[in-house]
Amino acid sequence: MAALHATATAQQKPPKPKTPPTELTLERVYQRGDFSVQGYSAEWLDDHRYLRWESSKGPSGGQELAVYDAESGHREVLIPSERLVPAGTTTPLGVSDHAFSKDMSKVLIYTNTQRVWRQNTRGDYWILDRTSFELRQVGADAPASSLMFAKLSPNGRWVAYVRDNDIWVEPTWGAPQKPRRLTRDGSETIINGTFDWVYEEELSLRDGFRWSPDSRSIAYWQLDSDGVRRFPLVNNTAGIYPRIQWIPYPKTGQRNSSARVGLVAIDDEQSETRWINIPGDPREHYLARMDWLPQHVAEMPTLLIQQLNRLQNRNRLYLFSTDLPSRDARLIHEERDAAWVEVQDELQWSRGQLAWLSERDRWRHLQLMEPSSGKRADIMPAFDADLMDLLDVADEQAYFTASPDNATQRYLFHVALDGNSAPRRVTPDDQPGSHQYNIAPGGKWAIHQWSQFDTPTKADVVRLPSHESVRTLQENKTANDNLSKLGEHRPVTEMLQVEIEEGVTLDGWCIRPATLEEGKKYPLLIYVYGEPAGTTVKDSWGGSTQMWHRLLAQRGYVVMSFDNRGTPAPKGRAWRKSVYRQVGVQAPRDQAAAVKKVLADRDYLDPQRVGVWGWSGGGSMTLNAMLKFPELYHVGISIAPVPNQRLYDTIYQERYMGVPDDNPQGYHDGSPINFAANLKGKLLLVHGTGDDNCHYQGTEALINELVRHNKPFSMMAYPNRSHSIHEGVNTSRHLRELMTNYLLDHLPPGPR
């Protein structure tokens, strides 16, 4: 007994020292959530009330749907959690999304979701009748989590969904009926009502069908992926033998899926799809958007279809009236650009005119278009700035976000739609930073969220157009308190600008240690993205990644980031599209010029200790930095890169680079794999082997080149992890430990 007691005592570990509140650790950032920030998610019910799913305090737990009055804050429970308990069970449904019928008598619940491609777009659907409280499963005979994009018809009588690449419909009331299959040719290659991988990823298209306003028919996309090369994702840890998933993935210059739009009636069991004739080879064009015109705009059911050519430098708008005998769509407008054009999302209307965004006068501006003729009128001709997001359009006015004087920020503006009035800033001048608005129908109220680089997100209800704050909704007090407790050890942050050549100034930010020893130099770490798909320099809260940068600053690093030309900053068309046909060429030069400038201007930076890291496009940019400027950068961490642009998908890469056969030099010069022989510094490659976006294949090809040139490097492969490398217990923490330790080992911190 004494021996057993001694052994037990010896095995007791001393308590782990408590982390002082002034110190940042990976555990605090990635596991304890000391600096986690919550947004405020809500949906407007009408012009003054909004809905939120919130945790129920009732005995059944789960979620309940609450409705709030914007002015008073009065709360009522619209759907209690106990109404969401299916028969024969005791647990309420977990709600991922919902949709009401127009008369509010029924609500469609989306639950039990699963991932398809990169998003959770498959799951189960239930309909709750708010009169009888009957809870009925949609497609009850289908396997669990097999339905996609279920939608109630405008009259509330039907629900349609995608199952096994076909569109199905069933009634929402009365005795249960067998679901009716509207399309019958769905297969592995024929895709009805949804999309293939590249359409979802690069055109943000997932839900591929639309109810007509009169509820009599459905318009839908059909994709044919026959002949599109399949890419294998190999899961070596699925069992004693690997599991292989084959994904149709068209790489640059390769064959795309064809796409067409058809109409099918729901009241005729023998109805055949009526296909719309749109000019052009369906494999060399993209049907990028399809929407019904509102009933107050068109006398008969009419579709508006946006068609991009393969190079995506032309967007054609077609109208198709379903009541006319012709199957030919009518061209009403063509938007062109010498580089690329953008598709128009979430079409909005004012007095029968389409709100259209165009860059034809150097800036992204709002125009009103007559849909029958395509005639346009510029609403803001004297506004020398980009419209960032069009939020709300009414008969007389529109709200949008812009930031004419500082591209890192975002503010609310208002403009009259007479074409004679200058836009007016609505966000108060004493509220710098980045602002987001969820505006109620009618434009009298908004849920307003804002943050700054050093200030976590806050949310309130504001009255418009005065911007009077009526009530605070979210303060993120825990994160703010923990930031305050860092005290004198809180890193110093700075928004900055760097002129790299005459007339070219890059926005940037800097995070550095709280105190700098005079006469000493500190290592510089650059965080980079640099591609046309995103920016890194925003005067807004940056989440866990920015907290990791602050952690590094506490360890003795200076961290900076710059937005080079070609990033989608609101600096005008010329800025954004200067990168055309030279992705991976111009941006590394801009980044290197900015690094050289800050090294020259700030004597506390050590030019012998410069590192760079990035993810995805930023991983590619990290490689370009290390391999094209080996004397400047000494350490690099490249996560999930595309080392060879010819290995990426058609829609993204060809949009910015053209097709490979027409721009072979650009593809060569922009691909870091071709410069592997130049590596001099320390390089860490990180990739998930299950990455369906930027394939692990590219990193393996780069490894071969590095080996061929006898270049030492470090490598970490995360088995079967996706592009975000987050799946599995402790993965995110492990990755950040890896990155932190690599920097500590190869880019020594602190003053020298």
User: Could you state, in order of their start, the residue ranges of all structural domains in the chain?
Assistant: 486-746
Q: What is the mean pLDDT of the chain?
A: 95
| C-alpha R_g of the chain | 28
pLDDT in tens, 671-682: 999 999 999 999
CA distance 495 to 537: 9
Q: Report whether pLDDT(319) > 80.
A: yes
Q: How far apart are CA 306 and CA 286, in angstroms?
A: 8
Residue 86 has a pLDDT of: 93
Distance of CA 49 to the CA centre of its chain: 27
Q: pLDDT band for position 7 (50/70/90)?
A: very low
The token pair that represents 228 in the structure block: 């599109």
* Signed CA dihedral, 154, 186, 310, 647: sign only: positive
- Assess whether pLDDT exceeds 50 at residue 10: no
- 532 pLDDT tier (thresholds 50, 70, 90): very high
Q: What is the arithmetic mean of pLDDT over 656-664?
A: 98
Widest distance between CA atoms in the chain: 96
**φ, ψ dihedrals at 548, nearest 5°:** -65, -40
Q: Tell me the pLDDT tens digit for each residue of 729-749.
A: 999 999 999 999 999 999 999
* Mean pLDDT score, 441-467: 97
User: How does 626-636 read in b/e, with b if 16+ C-beta sit within 10 Å?
Assistant: bbbbeebbbbb
Of 750, 568, 589, 668, give the one whose Cα is nearest residue 252: 668
Q: Is the pLDDT of residue 1 over 50?
A: no
| Cβ neighbours around 297 below 10 Å, total | 16
Per-residue pLDDT of 148-197, as tens digits, reads 999 999 999 999 999 999 999 999 987 778 899 999 999 999 999 999 99
Cβ–Cβ under 8 Å, residues 721 and 715: no
Report the phi/psi class of residue 363: left, alpha or beta, with left for phi > 0 and alpha for psi in -120 to 50. Answer: beta
| Residue 660 pLDDT > 50 | yes
Mean pLDDT computed over 705-728: 97
The confidence score (pLDDT) of residue 17 equals: 66
Q: pLDDT-derived band of residue 252, with 50, 70 and 90 as boundaries?
A: very high
Identify whether the C-beta of residue 723 lies closer than 8 Å to the C-beta of residue 699: no
Q: What are 366-390's pLDDT values in tens digits?
A: 999 998 888 899 999 889 999 999 9
Please name the residues in contact with 123: beta carbons below 8 A apart, sequence gap of 6 or more.
96, 110, 111, 112, 113, 114, 145, 147, 148
Task: Compute the distance between CA of residue 483 and CA of residue 551 in angstroms, rounded to an integer.
Answer: 12
Tell me the mean pLDDT in the region 648-655.
Answer: 98
Q: Give the bridge partners for 402, in sequence order.
A: 411
pLDDT, tens digit, for every residue of 391-422?
999 989 999 999 999 999 999 999 999 888 89
Q: Give the model confidence (pLDDT) of 276-304 as tens digits.
A: 999 999 999 999 999 999 988 888 999 99
Look up the CATH number of domain 486-746.
3.40.50.1820
Report residue 231 CA to chain centroid gap.
23
Grade residue 59 by pLDDT with cuts at 50, 70 and 90: confident
Report pLDDT for 298.
87
Whether 3 has a pLDDT exceeding 60, the answer reads no
Q: Determine the Cα–Cα distance for residues 619 and 179; give it in Å rounded to an integer.
A: 47
- pTM given for the model: 0.94
- Spatial CA neighbour of 457 closest among 40, 104, 30, 4: 40
Find all residues with CB under 8 Å of 513, minimum gap 6, and list them.
491, 492, 522, 553, 554, 556, 557, 558
Residue 14: band (very low, low, confident or very high) from pLDDT cuts 50, 70, 90: low
User: Cα angle vertex 650, ends 644, 654, to 5°?
Assistant: 80
Beta strands in 74-171 (DSSP E): 75-79, 97-100, 106-116, 119-129, 135-137, 148-152, 158-163, 166-171
